[in-house]
């Protein structure tokens, strides 16, 4: 059973560019959350998708947007990249219904903005 997968593993961009990160949830999961982890910090919640809609959003500007597809996979898009967007971007999947299920995290995409 494959866990959460993310692509690409690493990415280097320059300021002002746009980037798309991809995530495939763990089999059977229907909810995808995205987190940003800056160096030396804990992960910060960006947003969460369920039933192809953004259900909850953290304190991130509109430059950060996302999408969820019918197969539950998800994309994170960041426009007009800033140096401060350099971070590890983590995708997590979970089940929306049922008990208090934990989130399973992918290995992350390391984004470097030059």
Partner 1 sequence: AQSVAQPEDQVNVAEGNPLTVKCTYSVSGNPYLFWYVQYPNRGLQFLLKYITGDNLVKGSYGFEAEFNKSQTSFHLKKPSALVSDSALYFCAVRDPYRFTGGGNKLTFGTGTQLKVEL
CA torsion through residues 96, 58, 33, 55, sign: positive
Q: Which is nearer to partner 1, 14 or 103 (CB)?
A: 103
- Alpha-carbon distance of 109 to 46, in angstroms, equals 14
Chain centroid offset of residue 38 CA: 13
Q: Which is nearer to partner 1, 45 or 79 (CB)?
A: 45
Binding site for partner 1 (CB under 8 A): 4, 30-31, 33, 35, 41-45, 48, 50-51, 55-56, 58, 90, 92, 94, 96-97, 99-108
Assigned token pair, 34: 């995205």
- As a residue count, the chain comes to 114
Provide the minimum distance between the beta carbon of 107 and partner 1 in the complex, in angstroms, as a whole number: 5
Provide the minimum distance between the beta carbon of 25 and partner 1 in the complex, in angstroms, as a whole number: 13
């Amino acid at each position: 059973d494959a866990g959460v997968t993310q692509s690409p593993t690493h990415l280097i961009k320059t300021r002002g560019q746009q980037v798309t990160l991809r995530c495939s949830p763990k089999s059977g999961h229907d909810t995808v959350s995205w987190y940003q982890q800056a160096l030396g910090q804990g992960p910060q919640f960006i947003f969460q998708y369920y039933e192809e809609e953004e259900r909850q959003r953290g304190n991130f500007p509109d430059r950060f947007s996302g999408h969820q597809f019918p197969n539950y996979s998800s994309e994170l898009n960041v426009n007009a990249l800033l140096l401060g967007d350099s971070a590890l971007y983590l995708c997590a999947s979970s089940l929306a219904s049922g008990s208090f299920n934990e989130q399973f995290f992918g290995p992350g995409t390391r984004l470097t903005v030059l």
